[in-house]
Amino acid sequence: MFITFEGPDGSGKTTQVQRAAARLRADGHQVLLTREPGGTAIGDQIRAVLHSMDNTAMLPNTELLLYSASRAQLVGEAIRPHLEQGGIVICDRFYDSTMAYQGYGHGLDLDTLRIITEFATGGLKPDLTLYLDIAPEDGLQRRLSAVAQGEEWNRLDDMEMAFHRRVREGYHQLIAAEPQRWVQIDGARSMDAVHDDIMQVLASRLKQMA
């Protein structure tokens, strides 16, 4: 089963994927927890280029191709092999981030993004996507406290508030277009409340698939 987590910056995804993976492992599941961009040695090098504050001159189409390159490597090297062995893959962001950030955020053509994504993934789609929703202003506050505790502040965090509003609106449109794949969770609540909702959704999906 292939599960992805999506959401605006500061939605708490990274903490939540770790907690969810730990719980599923404790229940005996073989879980690969990975993230985008990155998740492979090659992808992590691409991530460093994408997120570097030295690269503020990067064009949106360059950005798109680099995220897609990282994705192609991750799917081929790690995600598909793990799924083929019957395991669960949890990925912190996947191609919906490209649609939301490069498509709705930067305004790149959505049909072109779909073609490039299909090429990068070989058509692999998540079985379930959990979307942690948060208003950009609240997400920013969370990011600032995380950065104060040592997390990176990246080039995408640094985009203006209007960009982050378009990203969030983009996510809402993606959910409306494909409601059967997505579950939306209010990410503005406490980490424990969000975790409990996530585990309920995962337990019921795993039961359905058993």
Residue the block writes with tokens 């939605």: 11
Choices 97-105, 125-133, 174-182, 184-192; region in contact with ligand TMP by CB under 6 A: 97-105
How many binding residues for ligand TMP (CB under 6 A)? 12
Instruction: Pick between residue 154 and residue 173 the one whose CB is nearest to ligand TMP.
Output: 154
What tokens were used for 188?
Answer: 């503005």
What one-character DSSP code corresponds to residue 105? I
Rule CB under 6 A: is residue 93 a binding residue for ligand TMP? yes
Rule CB under 6 A: is residue 171 a binding residue for ligand TMP? no
Classify residue 42 as exposed, middle or buried by CB count within 10 Å of its CB (0-12, 13-18, 19+): middle
Q: Which of 1, 31, 36, 120 binds ligand TMP (CB under 6 A)?
A: 36
Q: Which of 2, 5, 101, 104 binds ligand TMP (CB under 6 A)?
A: 101
d(CA 207, CA 29): 13
Residue the block writes with tokens 């961009």: 37
Q: Which of 2, 67, 104, 171 binds ligand TMP (CB under 6 A)?
A: 67
Q: Which of 42, 49, 135, 156 binds ligand TMP (CB under 6 A)?
A: 156
Residue the block writes with tokens 């939540």: 16
User: Phi and psi (nearest 5°) for 91?
Assistant: -120, 125
d(CA 153, CA 148): 10
Choices 21-29, 33-41, 122-130, 177-185; region in contact with ligand TMP by CB under 6 A: 33-41
E strands along the chain, which residues? 2-6, 31-35, 88-92, 128-133, 182-186
Q: Which of 4, 16, 98, 129 binds ligand TMP (CB under 6 A)?
A: 98
Instruction: Pick between residue 44 and residue 127 the one whose CB is nearest to ligand TMP.
Output: 44
Which positions touch ligand TMP (CB under 6 A)? 9, 35-37, 67, 93, 97-98, 101-102, 154, 156
